[in-house]
Structure 1
């Protein structure tokens, strides 16, 4: 055995380092290295899952991805090759880049520059037909997002927004107002893509830009839409009261709001209610939104998920039920809904499957949960959606009672590929 190869009984070097730090359990070690990684990487969402740590202490720990390696070094002052990990053939360590050159942050800065172009724009004629062009492109971006996930689209959509921004600066009258409306849809999409990719700081920036455009437009529909976008970020941060606050602000002028906008606000407020454990409000809000759905007849270029997504509001209800711990109710709803998800919505299907699997586990159906998780895990690998991986982490928590049982080990094997891809 070479000095850096784990013995057949498990990775004793990592286990010894863990115990030396006073972390008596693998779960405590995962939390400790997560905290060290968040500080070292300046990433508040960085996390090492307990199942990942268990794999690291196994006889075949594999080789950790770069951010995990930096977190391990921050926690133990030792690199993976000195902690019992199997060194890939021909591998050589490169010096870690300085913090300011972090690849993820560099990407955000370069993309954000598209939204902050400095300097005057030369006068030019802006044809109103460009509004239709950008709207049609937007529909294509929505479809591609459902198939590929966030990473391949961020640069493309933000570059198009840079052009829209330049045109807004010189356009006049109705053309300018139309470009503001479509521009808000583009910034909201970039914000969503970052949210799906797990970068909540970048998501909040682009959601804030959507709100700026909305206020400049003086359009009440767009202002309410921008508040819903902010509420979506708060939902992912699990701030239920913050979600409700933003949605109530959006509904202050609900008499003038288009039905579609009210649908968006009400369903998002239901998510806030689920986070505050208010099941009655969840059903009331979803039912109110359902009553408005048949009146949605507008040409607003954003917020069309309620028309594009089959059973959109029941999907929200099932998600809220799952968050409330209503496993049987949520599982039953997901079984009905998933049969109608089109093949073009592959990424959404995986998210729904992961949520159904969690509901099945909550309903004490672990075998069903693992079977459902298989398909979701494969799509998570293909798309690289961090949001989807978080759904699978939630499933892992729901399956904790079966952690030491064969079905729990089976789930760990299913999710291994997701950990390696992440």
Structure 2
């Protein structure tokens, strides 16, 4: 990891290995070997390199971590890992600065296997597990349940990180791990193929979600369909039905095909007797959203009541390997999602009350989620009979800052709705005009 980051920082600074060696008074041939992962540079020289590259202690911290970490050797050749788009990792320096490090997918697979990505991904549990995953990536026939469980844990961490970071920081690591898993699938023993396909389907769903949050319709649908295909091949009926809900969500969020929202969601819960109850509730909630957008409010709120009763009867998932989102789907989430139905039904005041409660109870580190809820609250305030354009515009500015930071197109979509509401209801309002200009410039 030290070599990868050293090479990135040197390249970013526009320095050759020889020029960096002169600046840090260190042999450039040893810089070359360090960048290739062949040697560890002594601590004193790392400090000089860190200073020369203005790395704010990042190289020093990585060097210290290298002394503490177990060594795990992996062969240089990583067959099947594509050298396509690189992976970007955000690393924190001691003074709080973020350094975005760009590495190849091949290097990413290697570092993932050796447990060297603990600062940005979950660390492997122990040295034995690190060696097990490393051997499996080098020889896919060695894949076993423990290796597959590791990738499940990483995926769960991605879902947690998404609420904080948004799609921009997570998409490339997720796509790179799909490459790794797909290569493992090609060489795994028959008994491990279906479990690998189940995990692949969940990673592909995550890729579809991240593309959706970026506003990329075609890529979101492509990855969602691939997830559905892998789920079907694996015989994972839960995931296959969940992907119908996801496609309903994409139709709602990106294409405004409201009949498709209802149709996909209804299909997802058609055979409810064999499905995870939380999935049935989620499908009902998504169908209710579509019905609200079509003006069928009575049916909408009947379905929301049914979803609520199902979640009260089944507060926990029935088995551990259902789609990750369902582990966190509960009555609180259902209430938050119902705000959109109240808004569509002309009850913006009810939506305001719900969203204010959710924001007040949201953990402070969930940056992307906070921005999205704030944008939805801004729209509800603008649509409320209690006229307060100043507050709506102020909330809009807050959400716009998060949209810039995370790259979330979902936040921007809400803010475009807010902009139209403000300009329509208060065309000459000064704060509304300032917000309009800020959104246009972002």
> Which residue of 1 is the match for residue 422 of structure 2?
399
How far off its partner does 1:319 sit? 1.8
* Cα distance in 1 for residues equivalent to 2:329 and 2:275: 20
If asked which structure has higher relative contact order (CA below 8 Å, sep 6+), I would say 1
How far off its partner does 1:328 sit? 1.4
> Which residue of 1 is the match for residue 150 of structure 2?
133
How far off its partner does 1:323 sit? 3.0
> Which residue of 1 is the match for residue 59 of structure 2?
none
> Which residue of 1 is the match for residue 398 of structure 2?
375
Question: Runs of 5+ in structure 1 lacking a partner?
Answer: 1-108, 115-120
Answering whether residue 230 of structure 2 is matched by residue 217 of structure 1, we say no
| Rg comparison, structure with higher value | 2
- Asked if 2 retains the 8 angstrom alpha-carbon contact of 1:310 and 1:340, the reply is no
Answering whether residue 340 of structure 2 is matched by residue 322 of structure 1, we say no
What's the TM-score once normalised by structure 2's chain length? 0.64
From 178, 181, 197, the equivalent of 2:214 is 197
How far off its partner does 1:229 sit? 1.5
* Cα distance in 2 for residues equivalent to 1:319 and 1:130: 40
How far off its partner does 1:158 sit? 0.7
- Asked if 2 retains the 8 angstrom alpha-carbon contact of 1:143 and 1:344, the reply is no
- Asked if 2 retains the 8 angstrom alpha-carbon contact of 1:334 and 1:356, the reply is yes
From 387, 394, 418, the equivalent of 2:410 is 387
Alpha-carbon distance change, 137 to 310 in structure 1, aligned in 2, over 3 angstroms: farther
How far off its partner does 1:359 sit? 1.1
> Which residue of 2 is the match for residue 207 of structure 1?
224
How far off its partner does 1:202 sit? 0.8
Larger mean CA deviation between 353-362 and 321-330 belongs to 321-330
How far off its partner does 1:193 sit? 0.8
Poorly superposed stretches of 4+, deviation over 6 Å: none
> Which residue of 2 is the match for residue 299 of structure 1?
320
1:179-190 alignment to 2 at 5 Å? 179-190=196-207
From 254, 270, 277, the equivalent of 1:252 is 270
How far off its partner does 1:333 sit? 1.7
How far off its partner does 1:197 sit? 0.7
* Cα distance in 2 for residues equivalent to 1:333 and 1:301: 28
How far off its partner does 1:395 sit? 0.6
* Cα distance in 2 for residues equivalent to 1:344 and 1:309: 20
* Cα distance in 2 for residues equivalent to 1:265 and 1:347: 24
> Which residue of 2 is the match for residue 275 of structure 1?
293
- Asked if 2 retains the 8 angstrom alpha-carbon contact of 1:353 and 1:376, the reply is yes
Larger mean CA deviation between 281-290 and 409-418 belongs to 409-418
Alpha-carbon distance change, 394 to 123 in structure 1, aligned in 2, over 3 angstroms: closer
SS of the residue corresponding to residue 300 of structure 1 reads coil
Alpha-carbon distance change, 305 to 376 in structure 1, aligned in 2, over 3 angstroms: farther
Task: Show CA shifts across 1:189-231 (max 9, x none).
Answer: 1111111111101111101101111211222211101111211
* Cα distance in 2 for residues equivalent to 1:329 and 1:411: 23
Question: Runs of 5+ in structure 2 lacking a partner?
Answer: 1-83, 87-104, 106-137
Alpha-carbon distance change, 388 to 240 in structure 1, aligned in 2, over 3 angstroms: same
How far off its partner does 1:169 sit? 2.8
